[in-house]
Structures are given as C-alpha cells and as structure tokens.
Chains A and B, each alone.
Chain A
Amino acid sequence: MSTTVVQPVPRSFGRMMGRGARDWLPAVAIFVIGIALWEGLVRGLHVQRFLLPAPSEILNTFWDERDTLVSAGLFTFKEAVGGFLIGSAFAVLVALVLARWRPLGNALMPYAIAANAVPIIAFAPITNNWFGILSPASKMAIAAVIVFFPVMVNTLRGLTSVRPESVELMHSYAARERDIFRRVRIPTSLPYLFTGLKVATVLAMIGAIVGDYFGGSQDALGIQIRRSAGIFAFEEAWAAIFVASVLGIAFYGAVALAERVVLSWHPSVRGGRE
C-alpha cells in the first residue's frame, strides 16, 4: 500500500535562494546583455578610446593597476563611510530633537529645506581649506553635510507620521514621552530612516569623489580619475570609475542588507502578504 505523505514545505535556505535566483535572473540577464552590447558596439563601430573604451579594456586596465586602484578606492571609501556615519548620526539626533520639541522643529524646518536645496558640493574647496587639503576630514565633512539633510528629513517624517491612535494607546498606559518614542515613534520611523540611509550611501560616495576632485591625497579615487582623464589615459579613468561603482553598490547593498535584518517584521521584507 502506498501512502502519499504531504509534508509541510520547509522554509529552507535553499528554497529562499531558489526564489531569489528566479527574481534575480532577469536582472542578471539584462546586465550580461548590456555589457555584451557595449563591447560589441565599441568594437563594431570602432568607437574612439577617449570617447568610450570597451568593457574588456577597462577590466584589463583595472587588473594591471589593481593595487593603486584598490588602495585609492578604499581611501575614498573611508572618506565616504566616515561622512555617512557622522552625517547620519547627526541627522538622527537632530530629527529626534525636532520630533520631541515640535515648535522648534516647525521653526527650523524652512531653513532645513532651504539648506537642503543648497548645492553643498560647491563648498568642497572651502572645507579643503578648513580641514587641510590632504586630510580625509575635509572630504568627510562634505559627505556628512550632503548626507545630513535627506536622512534628517526622512527620519523626522517617520517619527511624526505615527497614527494618532497608536499614541493614544500609549497614553492610556500613562506612558511618558520617552516610552512613546522608544516603543512607537522610533519603530515607526525605521522604514523611513532606511530609505534616507540608502539615498545617503550614494550621496556620500558622490561627495567623497567630487571632494577628491578639488585636490587632496594622491591616493584617492577622485584624484586618480581626474589625473587619468587629464593625461588622456581614459581606460584608467574608467577603471577608477569601475572601482567607484563597485564600492558604491557594495555600500548601498550593505545598508539594504542591514535594513532587511532590522526590519525583519516589515511586510516588504517578509515578501508581502502570502
């Protein structure tokens, strides 16, 4: 006699990966096709090197110069991460203060929005002057200021977009403002915070690299890109851009991963309603 045993489908790692692969496959395919097209068009149409080198050439150059490029990449990456951490920490602190004392927040918000519209990167030569052109602190300062506003505004929105009933419930337990922040406002703000942080990774990389453009240590990615382009070594410039891209994506990915861990309760992380 044969019996069919219906077993619960385990939520195994393998299954999750399998589902992941199915989700990612189209994107990977597009990437491969895109690179192949790039390579093919550059070769087929004999595009001039200084306009656009083929991916294979860029990769070759990267391999030849890998020591310099990786060390420059890490130098600039540290500037970006440093700025990101300082800027985000300040942003969260300020958002907490402004959410706690709303009149203060309302008074300062117009200035925050105005400051957000200022092209902060324009200050790069000045921060070089403040912190010393060779010091990574000058680039971190630029990255930190650029990062500050989107993180602050997003976090503040999160902290204040709590449903009134959620706060009423806490009041019914005679909760103090501190409890309401800890148990309601901060958890509610986390998805908003991470949206801000993900934007911030990109901005921090831009801030650090453009900060490099205005001078600094020879061992920085922005300097490498500028110098290579200046001496018509375009493959080298592109190889440095390649390094910047990989680091930028890794940075973003790390924050996105942290988001998945911290927001494990969130429907978007749990794959929505099943």
Chain B
Amino acid sequence: MNEQAAVVSLKSVTKDFQRGGVRALQEIDLEVRPREFISLIGPSGCGKSTLLRIVGDLVPPTSGEVVVNGKQAHQARLDRDYGIVFQDAVLYDWRTVAKNIALPLEMLDWDRARRSQRVREMVELVELGGFEDHYPWQLSGGMQQRVSIARALAFDPPLLLMDEPFGALDEMTRERMNMELLRIWQESGSTIVFVTHSIAEAVFLSTRVVVMSPRPGRITGIVDIDLPQPRNTDTREQERFFELVTEVRELLRTGDRSGEELPA
C-alpha cells in the first residue's frame, strides 16, 4: 500500500440538520490514508457520529465532497466497502446472537457452511461462546456491543467505522478488545475510523488522533501518534505516551475555550 489514494477523503464537508437548525459539522477537511487507525475525539455533540454517517453515505452532507476508496461515498456503500459499529448496538431482536453476526454474510450471499464457520470464529473472538442462541434482550449492554463488533468484523471490510464501540465495556474487557482490534487491524490491513471519549484509548490505538470541538463541529487539530508499532502493554508506560495524552488533552481544552467565546 502507498500514500497516494486516500481511503477516506473529506473536502470542506458541512452538515446542517434542518430539524432543530443545527450545524453539526462545518468545513471538515480530512484525509485518511490506507492502513491508518484514526480516532475522532471531542465533546458530546461535536458531530463525531454524524461524520461517520456521512463517510458511510447514511446521511448526505449539506455541502462538500466525500470520497471513499477512491469512489463517491455512495458507490463505496453499494460496494460494501465498510463495516460500521453504531454507538448503540443496533441488534435485531428477532435474531439470535449467531444470526445477528451472520446478517452481513447473508447479505453477501455466503453459503450456510461458510457463514456458520465465520460466525463461530467471530463468537470466539468477542468471547461470547455459549451465547450463540441467546436473543439480544438476554444479553448485557457490553455483550450486545460485542455482538455488533463481531457483526462489523465478520465480512472483513477494508474500512471500519466504529462509533464508541467499547463504551459499554468494563476496563478489563476494553483493554483486551483494544488488543484484539489492533491485531485484526494489523492482520487484515484494514483502515479504521474510531470514535472514542477516552483520550488514553485514542492515543494507545491510533496512528493519528483527530480532535474536534462543538457548535459547530470542527477539527481543532490532528495529533500524530508516533508511538512504535505494534502497540502492547508497555506502550502505556512510555513517557511519549503520556506526552501525547497531554497534547490531546490540551487540544481538547483549547477547542472548548474557543467554543465558549461564541455567544450563547
């Protein structure tokens, strides 16, 4: 892979919601290169989820250009170029855990044997063995979120859009899922756009952290995370790690302050 073609390219993307008259995003420019792990971080309401939806062609931008995998975002969606994990798990109540994970595989017309093989791998990956035949309402919030992660990973999409996927997990599971995600990212060669509220998580996982500020949603700054790959438990102990965490925190703070200057 080389640097030439961006996986995601946003050019002065603006999004206004008619309902409520909210400007969710203003003039967003962002290039995500192949095999990057990009984290979006910023206060609640700064447009992170909206940005992911625009990249996924699930909501149209009011203006600006969105290119994914070198195509219009719409074509990329039709080509199933990305997998998405929503902020809420979004599981289908009438499908068991196994069937929820198999949903994208059904849509891709995989045959039954191949589907169940992959579902088994995915269930193991997110440690839900024994719960294959449970229905979503029989699971805890964290387990539901893991099902939706397994569902997004199941068909190996070249681009993963993940909206706070680990928000509902306990600290231990979260750290383990972080490691798993990094492993998958490295093995599959996919590109990840990841939303989180945890500065440490963003720094630990990412190659770049995009810091955003609200009203209207803008990019305050981008921090290059030059920690060595592959990341491991030692990474969190390095001095550079703490420096980068501080740098991101500072950026978040200036974003907040510039927000306060606006008339209420």
Contacts and interface: CB of A to CB of B under 8 A. Distances in A.
A265 B107 contact: no
Interface string B50-88: 000100111000000000000000000111101110101
B107 A175 contact: yes
Interface string A248-273: 00000000000000000111001001
Interface in A227-261: none
Contacts of B83: 172
Given A168-B58, A172-B77, A173-B80, A187 B92 contact: yes
A234 B38 CA distance: 82
A261 to B, nearest CB: 13
A187 B77 CA distance: 24
A169 to B, nearest CB: 5
B104 interface: yes
A188 B137 CA distance: 15
Given A165-B86, A172-B82, A174-B77, A265 B138 contact: no
Most chain B beta carbons < 10 A, residue from A174, A187, A267, A270: A174
A42 interface: no
A270 B135 contact: yes
A172 B135 CA distance: 23
Interface residues of B, number: 26
Contacts of A174: 77-80, 107
A102 interface: no
Given A179-B107, A273-B137, A273-B138, A171 B77 contact: yes
Interface string B81-117: 0111010101011111000000110011000000000
Interface string B114-151: 00000000000000000000010110000000000000
Contacts of B86: 165, 168-169
B153 to A, nearest CB: 14
Contacts of B58: 168, 171-172
Contacts of A135: none
A165 B91 CA distance: 10
Contacts of A171: 57-58, 77
Decide if the interface of chain A is mainly helix, strand, loop or mixed: helix
B98 to A, nearest CB: 13
Interface string B165-209: 000000000000000000000000000000000000000000000
A166 B95 CA distance: 13
Given A168-B53, A171-B77, A172-B83, A184 B104 contact: no
Contacts of A190: 94
Nearest to B84: A172
Contact of B107 (A173, A266, A270): A173
A163 interface: yes
Nearest to A169: B90
Most chain B beta carbons < 10 A, residue from A165, A173, A175, A179: A173
B20 to A, nearest CB: 15
A169 B78 contact: no
Interface in A117-176: 163, 165-166, 168-175
A265 B135 CA distance: 7
Nearest to B79: A174
25 contacts: A165-B86, A165-B88, A165-B90, A166-B90, A168-B84, A168-B90, A169-B86, A172-B77, A172-B84, A173-B80, A173-B103, A173-B104, A173-B108, A174-B78, A174-B79, A174-B80, A183-B103, A187-B93, A187-B94, A265-B93, A265-B96, A265-B135, A266-B93, A266-B94, A273-B137
